Amino acid sequence: MPMPEELRSEYMHRAGVTPAQLEDSLGHFAVAEVNARTTGLEPADIEAARVSVRQVQADTVIISAKYNEMARTSRRDAREVATAEELATDRQLLDELIADEYRLTNPFGKHEGKGETINKVLSGTIRPEAFGRGGFEALETQLQVHGVGKPVTVVLHGRFYMRGSGLVRYARSGKRGWRSLTGQYRTTHAFILRDGRWMISASQMTRVPEETTFAFEGEKE
């Protein structure tokens, strides 16, 4: 089921996220010019796919922001604070936004599946200090839309800045603590159309070094 508009508004209010902050967190999702020119798809179909996958991303951010705020104000795992009913509702929403075969490769080289990703969202333990500029902010977003006759796959290339931290458990000591995640990241997300609904099926995140110290030879003609 799509996320009802009134629920989006309620969650944004609870999270303290304004429409402008949400826009800054998402970016525009512009379609790459070369892709629009060569894909053979109708402009109206490309635009419909762009709007749909952007809404998938928006709904995921809205749910994440809600649970981040619950965890921040309670200083607990947000799953311990939420009611059983709202947890069930939001699990179902995320279940429909994320494909069963979803895989995330995080910036530390770890593979995560759908269940781990949903649990992380609902726990509120990856915590931007804010959403929007200077907190969780999209810096670049560009789409490729693919399909024969109609769009069925969308790839989003992006770059974002996050100021925040994540609750981790260190492998050697077993100790838990907050680790800074502040920095810029490049991301690749794949979206698929299945049973009439767009959903995210794969993601990869790479930390952008603060300073570029080399470039590979042979890239230019």
In-domain check, residue 213: no
pTM greater than 0.85: yes
Say how many domains are in the chain.
1
CATH (domain of 118): 3.10.450.50
How large is the C-alpha radius of gyration of the chain? 18
84: domain range? 5-207
- Tell me whether residue 216 is in a domain: no
Nearest-10 crossing angle of helices 43-74, 19-26: 110
Please indicate, yes or no, if residue 179 is contained in any of the structural domains. Answer: yes
DSSP 79: G
Residue 65 maps to a domain: yes
Q: Confirm whether 220 is domain-assigned.
A: no
Instruction: Write out the chain's pLDDT in tens, 221 residues.
Output: 678 999 999 999 999 999 999 999 999 999 999 998 899 999 999 999 999 999 999 999 999 999 999 999 999 999 999 999 999 999 999 999 999 999 999 999 999 999 999 999 999 999 999 999 989 999 999 999 999 999 999 999 999 999 999 999 999 899 999 999 999 999 999 999 999 999 999 999 999 998 888 888 887 77
Is position 180 within any domain? yes
Q: Is residue 219 part of a domain?
A: no
Q: Is residue 27 part of a domain?
A: yes
Q: In 3-state terms, what secondary structure has residue 51?
A: helix
Residue 89 contacts residue 188 (beta carbons within 8 Å): no
> Exposed, middle or buried, 90 (CB in 10 Å: 0-12/13-18/19+)?
buried
